[in-house]
Amino acid sequence: MKEIIKRGLTSFALSSFAGLLVNLLIDLIVNAVEGPGFSSMSPDYVALFPSPTLAAYINILLYGVIGATFALAAYIYELERIGFVIQSIIYFVVTSVVCVAITMLLWQLHKYPSAFICTLLGYAATHVIMITIEYRRLRADIKVINELSNE
């Protein structure tokens, strides 16, 4: 349990820092090229808070929540009694509920149906790719184990 909490906290910290760094770089580059006044946060999102500073802090916090969710949900793959397909479905459902909800809030996707659909399709495609790669890796591992046990 201690390792799971450590993994979640580490991912929270790394994701928060990466989100902060990416937003900072985007803001610096766009403001340098196009002039001051650009913010990488959606104006509709910022309007939900009493100040842009609070919106930025919550934004960074939410990046951390996304990272922690991915790290903690990956624990499902360490449970040996659950099959790979069920593990993958659980991982997809848990991460998609959290991540889609957060991206809907951050990007105000409910106001942009085509962007919402594209986000969902991109998220699903990413998971299909990840699951396919992991499935192939597992099959190769099983093949090696079977060859070793036949010797």
Could you give the dihedral angle defined by the CA atoms of residues 95, 103, 110 and 48, in that order, rounded to the nearest 10 degrees? 130
| Assigned domain for 138 exists | no
Residue with tokens 């105000």: 108
The one-letter amino acid code at 57 reads: Y
| Assigned domain for 136 exists | no
| Assigned domain for 125 exists | no
- Residue 67 belongs to domain spanning: 2-110
| Assigned domain for 140 exists | no
| Assigned domain for 29 exists | yes
| Assigned domain for 150 exists | no
| Assigned domain for 119 exists | no
Total number of domains in the chain = 1
| pLDDT attached to residue 107 | 87
Could you give the dihedral angle defined by the CA atoms of residues 21, 22, 24 and 29, in that order, rounded to the nearest 10 degrees? 140
pTM: 0.82
Q: Render each residue's pLDDT in the chain as its tens digit; 151 residues.
A: 888 899 999 999 999 999 999 999 999 999 999 988 888 898 999 999 999 999 999 999 999 999 999 999 999 988 888 888 899 999 999 999 999 999 999 988 888 889 889 889 998 999 999 899 989 998 998 888 888 888 7
| Assigned domain for 59 exists | yes
